[in-house]
Amino acid sequence: MAANKASRLGEETRIDKVNAELVVLTYGTIVSQLCKDFDSDYVEVNKQLDKMGYNIGLRLIEDYLAKSNTVRRCSNFKETAEMIAKVGFKIFLNITPTIANWTNDGKQFSLIFDENPFADFVELPDDGRAQDELWYSNILCGVLRGALEMVQMQVEAHFISDVLRGNDTTEMRITLIRYIDDELPPEDD
Amino acid sequence: MSYYFAIISPLDTPLFEHEFGTSKSGGDGQPRFTDQARHLNQFILHSSLDIVEELQWTNGQLYLKVIDKFFQNYISAFVTASNVKFLLLHQPTTSVPGAAAAPNTATAAASSRVNSTSVGANPTSPQTEEAIKNFMNEAYENYVKAIMSPFYKAPNMEIRSLVFRQRVAAAGRKYL
Protein backbone atom coordinates (compact mmCIF):
# COMPACT_ATOMS: atom_id res chain seq x y z
CA MET A 1 0.00 0.00 0.00
CA ALA A 2 2.83 2.29 0.92
CA ALA A 3 4.51 1.32 -2.32
CA ASN A 4 1.51 2.38 -4.37
CA LYS A 5 1.22 5.62 -2.52
CA ALA A 6 4.88 6.35 -3.12
CA SER A 7 4.74 5.73 -6.86
CA ARG A 8 1.59 7.82 -7.12
CA LEU A 9 3.31 10.67 -5.31
CA GLY A 10 6.29 10.39 -7.61
CA GLU A 11 4.09 10.50 -10.70
CA GLU A 12 1.98 13.37 -9.49
CA THR A 13 4.74 15.72 -8.50
CA ARG A 14 5.26 18.10 -11.37
CA ILE A 15 8.77 19.31 -11.81
CA ASP A 16 10.60 21.49 -14.31
CA LYS A 17 12.58 19.52 -16.82
CA VAL A 18 16.02 20.15 -18.22
CA ASN A 19 17.69 18.71 -21.25
CA ALA A 20 19.23 15.33 -20.39
CA GLU A 21 22.35 16.07 -22.38
CA LEU A 22 22.98 19.20 -20.34
CA VAL A 23 22.97 17.05 -17.21
CA VAL A 24 25.18 14.41 -18.79
CA LEU A 25 27.74 16.89 -20.02
CA THR A 26 27.78 18.99 -16.86
CA TYR A 27 28.20 16.03 -14.56
CA GLY A 28 30.71 14.45 -16.92
CA THR A 29 32.78 17.61 -16.90
CA ILE A 30 32.81 17.67 -13.11
CA VAL A 31 34.01 14.09 -12.89
CA SER A 32 36.64 14.41 -15.60
CA GLN A 33 37.91 17.67 -14.08
CA LEU A 34 38.18 15.99 -10.67
CA CYS A 35 40.14 13.16 -12.25
CA LYS A 36 42.47 15.73 -13.74
CA ASP A 37 42.81 17.77 -10.55
CA PHE A 38 43.59 14.74 -8.44
CA ASP A 39 45.91 13.26 -11.03
CA SER A 40 43.67 10.24 -11.62
CA ASP A 41 43.63 9.32 -7.93
CA TYR A 42 40.23 7.72 -8.31
CA VAL A 43 39.82 6.88 -4.64
CA GLU A 44 40.12 10.57 -3.88
CA VAL A 45 37.76 11.43 -6.76
CA ASN A 46 35.15 9.10 -5.26
CA LYS A 47 35.54 10.87 -1.92
CA GLN A 48 35.18 14.29 -3.47
CA LEU A 49 32.08 13.27 -5.41
CA ASP A 50 30.57 11.89 -2.23
CA LYS A 51 31.34 15.12 -0.40
CA MET A 52 29.79 17.22 -3.17
CA GLY A 53 26.74 15.01 -3.09
CA TYR A 54 26.52 15.32 0.69
CA ASN A 55 26.37 19.10 0.40
CA ILE A 56 23.71 18.81 -2.28
CA GLY A 57 21.71 16.39 -0.16
CA LEU A 58 21.71 18.68 2.86
CA ARG A 59 19.70 21.28 0.95
CA LEU A 60 17.95 19.05 -1.56
CA ILE A 61 15.92 17.40 1.20
CA GLU A 62 14.15 20.69 1.85
CA ASP A 63 13.27 20.98 -1.81
CA TYR A 64 12.11 17.38 -1.83
CA LEU A 65 9.83 17.85 1.18
CA ALA A 66 8.38 21.03 -0.27
CA LYS A 67 7.71 19.58 -3.71
CA SER A 68 6.44 16.17 -2.75
CA ASN A 69 4.06 17.30 0.00
CA THR A 70 5.09 14.45 2.26
CA VAL A 71 4.52 15.89 5.65
CA ARG A 72 4.30 12.59 7.45
CA ARG A 73 7.37 10.88 8.81
CA CYS A 74 8.20 7.44 7.39
CA SER A 75 7.21 4.79 9.91
CA ASN A 76 10.10 2.47 9.09
CA PHE A 77 13.18 2.20 6.93
CA LYS A 78 11.34 0.19 4.27
CA GLU A 79 8.99 3.05 3.73
CA THR A 80 11.96 5.39 3.52
CA ALA A 81 13.42 3.21 0.78
CA GLU A 82 10.16 3.39 -1.17
CA MET A 83 10.07 7.14 -0.90
CA ILE A 84 13.68 7.50 -2.01
CA ALA A 85 13.25 5.30 -5.05
CA LYS A 86 9.74 6.23 -6.17
CA VAL A 87 9.49 9.85 -5.17
CA GLY A 88 12.99 11.24 -4.73
CA PHE A 89 14.66 9.71 -7.77
CA LYS A 90 11.47 10.12 -9.78
CA ILE A 91 11.17 13.85 -9.26
CA PHE A 92 14.83 14.77 -9.48
CA LEU A 93 16.15 12.35 -12.10
CA ASN A 94 12.93 10.95 -13.56
CA ILE A 95 14.05 7.39 -12.93
CA THR A 96 12.77 4.78 -10.52
CA PRO A 97 15.50 2.47 -9.29
CA THR A 98 14.41 -0.96 -8.12
CA ILE A 99 14.61 -1.76 -4.43
CA ALA A 100 16.08 -5.19 -3.76
CA ASN A 101 18.18 -7.39 -1.52
CA TRP A 102 16.85 -6.40 1.88
CA THR A 103 18.68 -7.89 4.81
CA ASN A 104 16.56 -9.65 7.43
CA ASP A 105 16.90 -6.90 9.99
CA GLY A 106 15.49 -4.42 7.47
CA LYS A 107 18.42 -2.08 7.79
CA GLN A 108 20.18 -2.62 4.51
CA PHE A 109 18.93 -2.60 0.93
CA SER A 110 20.07 -2.12 -2.64
CA LEU A 111 18.93 0.31 -5.26
CA ILE A 112 19.34 -1.15 -8.73
CA PHE A 113 19.52 1.45 -11.47
CA ASP A 114 18.13 0.17 -14.75
CA GLU A 115 18.99 3.48 -16.30
CA ASN A 116 21.36 6.14 -15.12
CA PRO A 117 20.95 9.56 -16.70
CA PHE A 118 24.44 10.56 -15.59
CA ALA A 119 26.13 7.75 -17.45
CA ASP A 120 24.84 8.23 -21.01
CA PHE A 121 27.67 8.21 -23.56
CA VAL A 122 30.22 7.68 -20.80
CA GLU A 123 33.16 5.37 -21.21
CA LEU A 124 35.60 5.21 -18.34
CA PRO A 125 39.24 6.07 -19.09
CA ASP A 126 41.12 3.04 -20.37
CA ASP A 127 44.13 3.46 -18.11
CA GLY A 128 43.53 0.09 -16.50
CA ARG A 129 42.62 1.54 -13.10
CA ALA A 130 39.48 3.58 -13.62
CA GLN A 131 37.55 0.39 -14.35
CA ASP A 132 38.40 -0.92 -10.89
CA GLU A 133 38.58 2.23 -8.81
CA LEU A 134 36.27 4.98 -10.06
CA TRP A 135 32.61 4.99 -9.05
CA TYR A 136 31.39 7.36 -11.72
CA SER A 137 28.01 8.19 -10.16
CA ASN A 138 29.31 8.37 -6.60
CA ILE A 139 27.72 11.78 -6.11
CA LEU A 140 24.38 9.98 -5.64
CA CYS A 141 25.68 8.20 -2.53
CA GLY A 142 26.57 11.54 -1.02
CA VAL A 143 23.19 13.01 -1.90
CA LEU A 144 21.34 10.22 -0.09
CA ARG A 145 23.65 10.41 2.92
CA GLY A 146 23.23 14.17 3.20
CA ALA A 147 19.49 14.17 2.64
CA LEU A 148 18.76 11.39 5.11
CA GLU A 149 20.99 12.93 7.73
CA MET A 150 18.75 15.99 7.68
CA VAL A 151 15.77 13.80 8.55
CA GLN A 152 17.47 12.06 11.48
CA MET A 153 18.83 9.04 9.69
CA GLN A 154 22.49 8.27 9.60
CA VAL A 155 23.15 6.01 6.61
CA GLU A 156 26.08 4.65 4.74
CA ALA A 157 25.80 4.35 0.97
CA HIS A 158 28.17 3.01 -1.63
CA PHE A 159 28.07 1.48 -5.09
CA ILE A 160 28.86 -2.20 -5.38
CA SER A 161 28.56 -2.53 -9.16
CA ASP A 162 28.30 -0.28 -12.19
CA VAL A 163 27.51 -1.06 -15.81
CA LEU A 164 30.25 1.38 -16.79
CA ARG A 165 32.73 -1.04 -15.25
CA GLY A 166 31.30 -3.88 -17.27
CA ASN A 167 29.02 -5.24 -14.54
CA ASP A 168 25.53 -6.38 -15.46
CA THR A 169 23.78 -3.90 -13.21
CA THR A 170 24.36 -0.64 -11.42
CA GLU A 171 23.72 -1.29 -7.76
CA MET A 172 23.98 0.93 -4.72
CA ARG A 173 23.97 -0.49 -1.20
CA ILE A 174 22.42 1.60 1.55
CA THR A 175 22.78 0.78 5.24
CA LEU A 176 20.93 2.44 8.09
CA ILE A 177 23.41 3.01 10.88
CA ARG A 178 21.12 4.67 13.41
CA TYR A 179 18.29 7.10 13.90
CA ILE A 180 19.79 10.31 15.20
CA ASP A 181 18.05 11.29 18.43
CA ASP A 182 17.46 14.89 19.14
CA GLU A 183 20.40 15.72 21.27
CA LEU A 184 19.97 18.22 24.02
CA PRO A 185 22.53 20.95 24.18
CA PRO A 186 24.98 20.45 27.03
CA GLU A 187 23.54 21.85 30.22
CA ASP A 188 25.10 24.95 31.48
CA ASP A 189 25.48 24.74 35.18
CA MET B 1 36.53 -5.53 -51.96
CA SER B 2 38.61 -4.12 -49.13
CA TYR B 3 38.04 -0.97 -47.18
CA TYR B 4 40.25 1.29 -45.11
CA PHE B 5 38.37 3.82 -43.01
CA ALA B 6 40.02 6.71 -41.20
CA ILE B 7 38.87 9.72 -39.21
CA ILE B 8 41.11 12.77 -39.52
CA SER B 9 40.88 15.69 -37.12
CA PRO B 10 40.69 19.32 -38.32
CA LEU B 11 44.41 19.52 -37.52
CA ASP B 12 45.06 16.54 -39.80
CA THR B 13 45.83 14.13 -36.99
CA PRO B 14 44.47 10.64 -37.54
CA LEU B 15 41.97 9.89 -34.79
CA PHE B 16 40.80 6.47 -35.75
CA GLU B 17 41.48 3.87 -38.42
CA HIS B 18 39.85 0.61 -39.25
CA GLU B 19 40.31 -1.92 -42.02
CA PHE B 20 37.62 -4.29 -43.12
CA GLY B 21 36.41 -6.24 -46.10
CA THR B 22 33.05 -6.53 -47.74
CA SER B 23 30.37 -8.63 -46.10
CA LYS B 24 28.04 -8.53 -49.09
CA SER B 25 27.63 -11.46 -51.48
CA GLY B 26 29.36 -13.96 -49.25
CA GLY B 27 32.33 -11.79 -48.32
CA ASP B 28 33.88 -12.72 -45.00
CA GLY B 29 34.46 -9.16 -43.83
CA GLN B 30 38.23 -9.55 -43.90
CA PRO B 31 40.36 -6.94 -45.66
CA ARG B 32 42.50 -8.22 -48.52
CA PHE B 33 45.19 -5.60 -48.48
CA THR B 34 48.76 -6.71 -48.96
CA ASP B 35 51.26 -5.61 -46.31
CA GLN B 36 52.67 -3.13 -48.76
CA ALA B 37 49.27 -1.68 -49.57
CA ARG B 38 48.58 -1.17 -45.88
CA HIS B 39 51.30 1.44 -45.66
CA LEU B 40 50.40 2.91 -49.00
CA ASN B 41 46.75 3.27 -47.97
CA GLN B 42 47.63 5.81 -45.33
CA PHE B 43 49.51 7.91 -47.86
CA ILE B 44 46.76 7.72 -50.45
CA LEU B 45 44.15 8.65 -47.91
CA HIS B 46 46.04 11.58 -46.48
CA SER B 47 47.03 12.89 -49.88
CA SER B 48 43.36 13.22 -50.73
CA LEU B 49 42.86 15.67 -47.86
CA ASP B 50 43.78 18.58 -50.14
CA ILE B 51 40.96 17.67 -52.48
CA VAL B 52 38.55 17.35 -49.58
CA GLU B 53 39.44 20.81 -48.42
CA GLU B 54 38.75 22.22 -51.86
CA LEU B 55 35.52 20.34 -52.39
CA GLN B 56 33.97 20.78 -48.97
CA TRP B 57 33.01 24.36 -49.76
CA THR B 58 31.45 23.61 -53.13
CA ASN B 59 28.22 22.14 -51.83
CA GLY B 60 26.38 22.11 -48.54
CA GLN B 61 26.46 18.36 -48.20
CA LEU B 62 28.43 16.50 -45.57
CA TYR B 63 28.87 13.51 -47.86
CA LEU B 64 31.14 14.28 -50.79
CA LYS B 65 31.01 10.89 -52.58
CA VAL B 66 34.09 9.66 -54.43
CA ILE B 67 36.55 12.51 -54.48
CA ASP B 68 39.82 10.92 -55.47
CA LYS B 69 41.18 7.90 -57.23
CA PHE B 70 44.65 6.46 -57.20
CA PHE B 71 44.88 3.48 -59.53
CA GLN B 72 42.29 1.09 -58.11
CA ASN B 73 41.91 2.96 -54.84
CA TYR B 74 38.81 5.10 -54.57
CA ILE B 75 38.41 7.62 -51.78
CA SER B 76 34.99 8.66 -50.48
CA ALA B 77 34.79 11.55 -48.06
CA PHE B 78 32.42 12.85 -45.44
CA VAL B 79 33.12 16.11 -43.63
CA THR B 80 31.39 16.83 -40.33
CA ALA B 81 30.24 20.25 -39.24
CA SER B 82 33.32 20.69 -37.08
CA ASN B 83 35.57 19.87 -40.03
CA VAL B 84 36.47 16.38 -38.96
CA LYS B 85 37.02 14.26 -42.05
CA PHE B 86 35.80 10.72 -42.47
CA LEU B 87 37.65 9.09 -45.34
CA LEU B 88 36.97 5.68 -46.78
CA LEU B 89 39.38 4.06 -49.18
CA HIS B 90 37.77 1.30 -51.18
CA GLN B 91 39.61 -1.04 -53.39
CA PRO B 92 37.61 -3.29 -55.67
CA THR B 93 39.54 -6.47 -56.23
CA THR B 94 37.84 -7.26 -59.56
CA SER B 95 40.22 -5.45 -61.79
CA VAL B 96 43.40 -6.92 -60.42
CA PRO B 97 45.16 -7.64 -63.72
CA GLY B 98 45.81 -11.33 -64.18
CA ALA B 99 43.83 -12.55 -61.21
CA ALA B 100 44.21 -16.05 -62.57
CA ALA B 101 47.95 -15.69 -62.32
CA ALA B 102 47.74 -14.88 -58.62
CA PRO B 103 49.84 -17.29 -56.57
CA ASN B 104 46.97 -18.11 -54.27
CA THR B 105 44.27 -19.34 -56.60
CA ALA B 106 41.81 -19.98 -53.80
CA THR B 107 41.86 -16.33 -52.80
CA ALA B 108 41.59 -15.23 -56.40
CA ALA B 109 38.60 -17.45 -56.98
CA ALA B 110 36.93 -16.22 -53.83
CA SER B 111 37.52 -12.59 -54.70
CA SER B 112 36.27 -12.89 -58.26
CA ARG B 113 33.10 -14.57 -57.03
CA VAL B 114 32.59 -11.80 -54.49
CA ASN B 115 33.23 -9.05 -56.98
CA SER B 116 30.82 -9.90 -59.71
CA THR B 117 27.76 -8.89 -57.69
CA SER B 118 29.06 -7.01 -54.66
CA VAL B 119 27.98 -3.50 -53.86
CA GLY B 120 31.46 -2.21 -54.53
CA ALA B 121 31.97 -3.78 -57.94
CA ASN B 122 31.51 -0.38 -59.47
CA PRO B 123 32.79 2.22 -56.99
CA THR B 124 31.04 5.16 -58.62
CA SER B 125 27.61 3.58 -59.13
CA PRO B 126 24.66 5.16 -57.32
CA GLN B 127 24.15 1.97 -55.28
CA THR B 128 27.69 2.09 -53.96
CA GLU B 129 27.42 5.78 -53.26
CA GLU B 130 24.24 5.17 -51.33
CA ALA B 131 25.78 2.29 -49.36
CA ILE B 132 28.79 4.36 -48.41
CA LYS B 133 26.56 7.26 -47.49
CA ASN B 134 24.65 5.03 -45.09
CA PHE B 135 27.89 3.74 -43.64
CA MET B 136 29.23 7.26 -43.17
CA ASN B 137 26.04 8.44 -41.52
CA GLU B 138 26.09 5.58 -39.08
CA ALA B 139 29.76 6.13 -38.32
CA TYR B 140 29.00 9.83 -37.81
CA GLU B 141 26.17 9.07 -35.41
CA ASN B 142 28.43 6.84 -33.35
CA TYR B 143 31.29 9.32 -33.55
CA VAL B 144 29.05 11.97 -32.01
CA LYS B 145 28.27 9.60 -29.14
CA ALA B 146 31.92 8.69 -28.70
CA ILE B 147 33.07 12.29 -28.37
CA MET B 148 30.28 13.01 -25.88
CA SER B 149 32.09 10.88 -23.34
CA PRO B 150 33.48 13.24 -20.69
CA PHE B 151 36.82 11.49 -20.74
CA TYR B 152 37.32 12.17 -24.43
CA LYS B 153 39.29 15.37 -24.99
CA ALA B 154 37.79 16.77 -28.18
CA PRO B 155 38.77 17.35 -30.88
CA ASN B 156 42.28 16.03 -31.18
CA MET B 157 42.48 12.85 -29.15
CA GLU B 158 42.71 9.41 -30.65
CA ILE B 159 39.43 7.48 -30.30
CA ARG B 160 40.37 4.38 -28.38
CA SER B 161 36.86 3.31 -27.49
CA LEU B 162 36.32 -0.37 -28.25
CA VAL B 163 32.60 0.20 -28.41
CA PHE B 164 33.08 2.73 -31.19
CA ARG B 165 35.29 0.31 -33.12
CA GLN B 166 32.70 -2.43 -32.80
CA ARG B 167 29.98 -0.09 -34.00
CA VAL B 168 31.97 1.01 -37.03
CA ALA B 169 32.68 -2.62 -37.82
CA ALA B 170 28.97 -3.37 -37.48
CA ALA B 171 28.10 -0.51 -39.84
CA GLY B 172 30.63 -1.90 -42.30
CA ARG B 173 29.04 -5.33 -42.10
CA LYS B 174 25.60 -3.85 -42.54
CA TYR B 175 26.17 -1.65 -45.57
CA LEU B 176 29.37 -2.55 -47.35
Q: How do residues B144-164 score in pLDDT, each as one tens digit?
A: 989 888 888 877 888 988 889
Q: Which of the residues B145, B149, B153 would you substitute to probe the A interface, choosing the one with the greatest number of A C-beta atoms within 10 Å?
A: B149
Contact B148 A35 (CB under 8 A): no
Identify the helix (H) or strand (E) that includes residue B51: helix B49-55
Instruction: Give B144→chain A minimum CA distance, Å.
Output: 9
Contact B150 A28 (CB under 8 A): yes
Strands (E), chain B: 2-8, 14-21, 63-70, 73-79, 85-91
Q: Write phi, then psi, for B155 (nearest 5 degrees).
A: -105, 15
Q: Which of the residues A23, A33, A123 would you substitute to probe the B interface, choosing the one with the greatest number of B C-beta atoms within 10 Å?
A: A123
Contact B151 A121 (CB under 8 A): no
Contacts of B148 in chain A (CB under 8 A): 21, 24-25, 28, 120-121
Say which residues have a Cβ less than 8 Å from residue A174's Cβ, sequence separation at least 6. Answer: A81, A108, A109, A110, A111, A144, A155, A156, A157
Contacts of A31 in chain B (CB under 8 A): 150
Spell out which chain B residues touch chain A, with contact meaning CB-CB distance below 8 angstroms: 145-146, 148-152, 160-161, 163
Q: What is the mean pLDDT of chain B?
A: 82
SS3 A62: helix
The larger pLDDT score, comparing residue A13 to residue B111, is at A13
Residue A180 is predicted with a pLDDT of 85
Number of C-beta neighbours around residue A67 at 10 A: 15
**DSSP letters for A85-144:** IIIIHHHHHS--PEEE---TTS-EEEEEES--GGGTT-----SSSHHHH--TTTHHHHHH
* ipTM of this complex prediction, to 2 decimal places: 0.72
Residue B104 is predicted with a pLDDT of 46
The larger pLDDT score, comparing residue A72 to residue B84, is at B84
Closest chain B CA to residue A31: B150
SS3 A172: strand
Among the partner-chain residues A27, A35, A123, the one whose CB lies closest to the CB of B149 is A123
SS3 A153: strand
Query: In DSSP terms, which residues pair with B87 in a beta bridge?
Result: B6, B77
The larger pLDDT score, comparing residue B27 to residue A150, is at A150
Instruction: Give A99→chain B minimum CA distance, Å.
Output: 29
Closest chain A CA to residue B143: A121
Look up residue A84 and give its DSSP letter: I
The b-or-e profile of A99-112 (16+ CB within 10 A means b, else e) is: beeeeeeeebbbbe
Strand arrangement, sheet containing B73-79:
B14-21, B2-8, B85-91, B73-79, B63-70
> In this structure, are residues A89 and A180 in contact, taking their beta carbons and an 8 Å threshold?
no
Spatial CA neighbour of B27 closest among B130, B136, B137, B172 = B172
* pLDDT band at residue B100 using 50, 70 and 90 as cut-offs: very low
Conformational region of residue A21, where left means phi above 0, alpha means psi within -120 to 50, and beta covers everything else: alpha
Asked if the model's pLDDT at residue A174 lies above 90, the reply is: yes
Longest dimension (CA), chain B: 53
> In this structure, are residues B138 and B174 in contact, taking their beta carbons and an 8 Å threshold?
yes
pTM of the model: 0.79
* pLDDT band at residue A146 using 50, 70 and 90 as cut-offs: very high
Crossing angle for the helix pair B162-175 and B126-147, to the nearest 10 degrees: 160
